[in-house]
Amino acid sequence: MDFKDKVVLITGASRGIGKATALLFAENGAKIGVNSSKSDGAAVADMIREKGGNAVFVQGDVSNPKSAGTIVKKTVDAFGRLDVLVNNAGIVIPGCLENTSEEDFDLTMGINVKGTFFMSKYAVHEMKRQQKGGVIVNIASVAGLKGHMDRAVYCASKGAVIALSRAIAADHVKDNIRVNVVCPGTTYTPAIEEKIRTAPDPAAMESAFMQRQPMGRLGSVEEIAHAVLFAACDEAGYMTGSVIVIDGGMTM
């Protein structure tokens, strides 16, 4: 999985899976466009450069079409091309039908689905101009494959990401653009860590997370990052429209 001289843009890369993925791509030779909606993503770009890598920080909101286009453009301006887009930016707002507001519905769909749509739209435009095409890897979730309690709209958004990814793959296979999906199970991200830490009984909350995993543990962000690299690498060049499930056996 050698990404030397390839340009990789990762959305939502300030922490968690996005950060781990950015660092791993950089370790494997890629030039990295680090995106986040806030300025905290700049620290990740700094980390990559401190380790001898090449990175640029591009702040922007993926759910806004103008901003999404600017994120892609600034990455291409910095490095001259775009080989891989990882659509990782996303949010989780708990709720079922009865207690989810229209505002929460729109916000979830805006970032998780529209963000993936707009970023892919502008990335495809760039990739079609390149002789070697490119790869898009969309981060969905096992929640897009399996119903989860109190996550109605989140499940719907991740199911939409999977369907959208397969449609883009079908539309652009002749353009030498591959599109794959990674569906993580429960992963020990800063968000999960915060839920455990702030729970009335942190030990009980952590135990509950562990017990619902057949492997008896949570995934690590590094494990998910390796799946993303595989989905994007040349060695997996025959794979497009595929869904990689990495969930500790939750959906087996």
Which two three-digit tokens encode residue 156? 């719907």
Q: Which two tokens stand for residue 245?
A: 């499930």
Q: What sign results for the dihedral spanned by CA atoms 145, 147, 152, 154? A: negative
CA distance 90 to 83: 22
Contact 242, 179 (CB under 8 A): no
Q: What angle do CA 25, 30, 34 make, to 5 degrees?
A: 70
Terminal CA-CA length for the chain: 27
Q: Contact at 8 Å (CB) between 231 and 135?
A: yes
- Angle, CA of 93, 94 and 99, to the nearest 5°: 110
d(CA 113, CA 85): 15
Q: Which two tokens stand for residue 251?
A: 């959906």
CA distances from 176 to 51, 184, 234 (A): 32, 26, 12
Q: Return the residue matching tokens 């930016």.
A: 89
Find out whether 213 and 206 touch, Cβ atoms under 8 Å: no
Residue 238 annotated to the active site? no
The catalytic position among 122, 154, 188, 238 is: 154
For the annotated catalytic residues, the residue numbers are 154
